Amino acid sequence: DTGVSQNPRHKITKRGQNVTFRCDPISEHNRLYWYRQTLGQGPEFLTYFQNEAQLEKSRLLSDRFSAERPKGSFSTLEIQRTEQGDSAMYLCASSLNFHLEQYFGPGTRLTVT
């Protein structure tokens, strides 16, 4: 297993467009997390899945954001009607169980022009 992967690594889009990111967790991990990180700040929690169920969402996750994990494996994060404030690094992490460490992917850097 090569760890958590994310695609694309970079995305440039125009304001108002929709974007979708993909995360492939470590295969046996049942927990999957999405974070957002802006320059100079630590990652901020967005949402969390256990298997295919989305169990927790941050108040940072506006109605324009939606995340899915349809078969409890890979996950997608979609941002509709992007705004310049959405420019950030979007990180995905997975873990085997609640109390164990999270393994992070390399992130998708989104730039909204």
Partner 1 sequence: DAKTTQPNSMESNEEEPVHLPCNHSTISGTDYIHWYRQLPSQGPEYVIHGLTSNVNNRMASLAIAEDRKSSTLILHRATLRDAAVYYCILRDTGNQFYFGTGTSLTVIP
Question: Where do contacts with partner 1 occur on this chain (CB under 8 A)?
Answer: 4, 31, 33, 35, 40-45, 48, 55-56, 58, 91, 93, 98-99, 101-107
CA-CA distance, 12 to 104, in Å (whole number)? 22
Could you tell me the smallest distance in angstroms from the CB atom of residue 15 to partner 1? 25
Name which of 15 and 100 has its Cβ closer to partner 1. Answer: 100
Name which of 2 and 14 has its Cβ closer to partner 1. Answer: 2
Closest CA to 94 of 8, 21, 3: 3
Could you tell me the smallest distance in angstroms from the CB atom of residue 10 to partner 1? 11
